[in-house]
Structure 1
Amino acid sequence: MELTYETRKGQAYTGNSLDLLDFFEDNSINLVMTSPPFDLLRQKSYGNLNGDAYINWLTEFAVKIKDKLTEDGSFVLDLGGAYKRGVPIRNIYNYKVMIKFVEEIGYYLAEDFFWYNPSKLPSPIEWVNKRKIRAKDSVNTVWWFSKSENPKADVKKVLVPYSDRMKKLLKDGKKYYEAKERPSGHNISEGFNKDNGGAIPSNLLQIPNSESNSRYLKYCKKIGVKGHPARFPAKLPEFFIKYLTDPDDVVLDIFSGSNTTGEAAENLERRWISCDLNREFVASSVFRFCTDEEQANFYYHKIIKGEYVDLRSNTLV
């Protein structure tokens, strides 16, 4: 396990995060936000297992994480969908993971979220593009697990803009609704048109994964480095970091890849820790914290050689 680079708020490690988890004190991590390799039939460059082996592998991490979370801490896990080999039938591994974590490890499922990526390409090719017998798979399951029944959370931190209709209602409520009990049983009171600064978000998160001009990708292109093939958009970890933590809380990503979680945490003034097995992925993730191409190139090659990088100052050291 190697501390690879540090920033003003965080630390990036290279190695197996199972080993890293042993170094943390119990009850010390406020949020684990991560997206592991999925249970996919086709092998990916970043590695992935299949079937029961995959679930057992992921369970090893979950067991250790539970001890390290604060009593009001959360573990948010993004898992993509998959099909069984050779047939247009869904693999339900992501649901098996959720059930195992709750029934065997003792997590609570605080809420199930679904990340809809409208920019995702049609897949799987065989069933969607060629035979045209299935719709494209564009939703990931995002399980919000908690250590206790009452994890830290404040939905006021993640309010979304009001719809145009709601804006009209706020402007002149009496014109659009009458305070009374509806047929559904909901009681619409006089305070329904109070402006709370935004609407409560749903558990369907519509976030396109269409990053094209980020600092990370810009430096990957300029320095000739291949970007991580399975990045999630910054708005996904941003949502949960805002929702479930406070400034200076600790956010951990145990499968950090290009370290989107670390960058989001840094921007939101949270302390962060990231870990990935692949040195090249960790090296290129430093681009997220560099201010120019010279710095990005210098630090990347330093990390590739196994040297430590300190980004807490703006000087090249």
Structure 2
Amino acid sequence: MLAHTAPAYTTPNGAAFCGDSRDLLRHLDDNSIDLVITSPPFALQRQKAYGNKDQAEYLDWLMDFAALVHAKLKPTGSFVMDIGGAYQKGVPARSLYHLRVPIRFCDELGFFLAEDFYWFNPSKLPSPIEWVNKRKIRAKDSVNNIWWFSKTEWPKADVSKVLSPYSDRMLKLIEDPDKFYTPKERPSGHDIGRAFSKNNGGAIPSNLLKIPNTESNGAYISGCKLVGARPHPARFPAKLPEFFVRFLTDPGDVVLDIFAGSNTTGQVAEAEGRRWLAFDERLDYLATNVFRFLPKEAPPEQLRDAHARVEAGEAVNLTDYLPQAALRFVQAAE
């Protein structure tokens, strides 16, 4: 797909590339990607190390990427974007920039808004400090918008792949419906009968995704500590891309993250048997990504070597670092 440029590193299922995603996207074939899932730098008031834009220029900047994504998606493909809200500068009033994203994407680029999701992070720290902690005039901002865009009205999706575990009460109902439930008509006039007493393997999930962001001792964090590198400051938890990768793609499909950061998306896609691509303009971030694909228990010298080679600009095949047992497993899967 990107024969013109060498990857920063490759794995059995994917490859990460360093560069401006707009340039890299232009070299992809049109109608070739099944899912783009990403979390772009948010339009925050305070500049962050990962290069966020201010709110005034943010939408035009983001539209450049979205126009290219639209061309590269398959007709059945999806574009999932995690984006957080913000306050206007100096006052406790919300910006509307993140709400204008779906309007512009759909009106100007031809996307469809398949569904709006909301990521509730119960572990998020209280912010903004001025309005929440100091003056105590606003509640903690703990929800991000997740916009699910599609190229047509009928993107590929299968919610049965992301069913939620049943509650204890529901399991009791399934086991003995007569004891725990008497069918009756609801106030809306719907007669649900015993439709909910059948075991379907799980419950249909809602569009509110409650996923704490609390990783503190995984292979990625441990690897960063080993080489003295600062972890990416805006990582999302693996459960977030995992939900959409399972929901919107099949094994062998191509998943792309255009603002890869710590490359949680690539790690999830690799584990789920999807092919993947990751783009980021920071080589130092991509160098620490290698810890997501190498065993945590690998010898420290191997972890340091893989990181150093990527950071030096080599095209590193991480398969060379896998133990023989893991390599045999990968080859059998292929």
Task: Tell me which interval the TM-score lies in, with the shorter structure as reference length.
Answer: over 0.9
Residue 25 of structure 2 is aligned to residue 21 of structure 1: yes
Quote how far apart the aligned CAs of 1:46 are.
0.5
**Could you tell me which of 280, 295, 302 is aligned with 2:302?**
295
Q: What is the aligned partner in structure 2 of residue 100 from structure 1?
A: 104
How far does residue 23 in structure 1 lie from its aligned partner after superposition? 1.2
Matches within 5 A, 1:60-79: 60-79=64-83
Matched, 1:257 2:261: yes
Structure 1 stretch 272-281 or stretch 165-174: which is displaced more? 165-174
1:185-222 CA distance string (max 9 Å, x none):
22212332000010011000000000011100011112
What is the Cα deviation at residue 29 of structure 1?
0.1
Higher strand fraction (1 or 2): 1
Question: Which residue in the other structure is 1:311 paired with?
Answer: 318
Equivalents in 1 of 2:119, 2:140: separation in Å?
14
* Structure 2: unaligned runs, 5 residues or longer: 324-334
Q: What percent of counterpart residues are identical? A: 59
Matched, 1:206 2:210: yes
In structure 2, the partner of 1:266 is 270
Q: Choose which of 255, 276, 279 in structure 2 pairs with 1:275.
A: 279
- For the residues of structure 2 that align with 1:294 and 1:288, how far apart are their CA atoms? 16
Where in structure 1 are there 5+ consecutive unaligned residues?
none
Distance 1:100 1:53 in 2: 14
1:295 deviation in Å? 2.0
1:134 partner letter: R
1:46 counterpart residue number: 50
Normalised TM-score (structure 2):
0.92
Further displaced range: 132-141 or 189-198: 189-198
* 1:224-245, Cα deviation, whole Å (9 max, x unpaired): 1100000000000000000000
Please list the CA deviations of residues 263-294 of structure 1 after superposition, one character each: whole Å capped at 9, or x if unmatched: 00000000000010111001111111112232
Distance in 2 (alpha carbons) for counterparts of 1:191 and 1:117: 32
Q: Tell me, what secondary structure is at the counterpart of 1:90? A: coil
Q: Distance in 2 between matches of 1:51 and 1:226?
A: 26
Superposition pairs of residues 169-188 of structure 1, within 5 angstroms: 169-188=173-192
Shift of 1:173: 1.1
Partner-residue secondary structure (3-state), 2:273: coil
Give RMSD over aligned pairs: 1.2
Partner of 2:330: none
Letter in 2 for 1:163: S
| d(CA) in 2 for partners of 1:59, 1:2 | 27
Cα offset for 1:2?
Answer: 4.4
How far does the alpha carbon of each residue in 1:87-140 deviate from its partner, in whole angstroms, 9 at most, with x for none? 000111111111100111111100000000000000000000000000000000
Task: Show the counterpart of 1:112.
Answer: 116
Deviation at 1:184?
1.8
CA offsets 1:243-271 (integer angstroms, 9 cap, x no match): 00000100000000000000000000000
CA contact (8 A) 1:4 1:309 kept: yes
SS at match of 1:287: helix
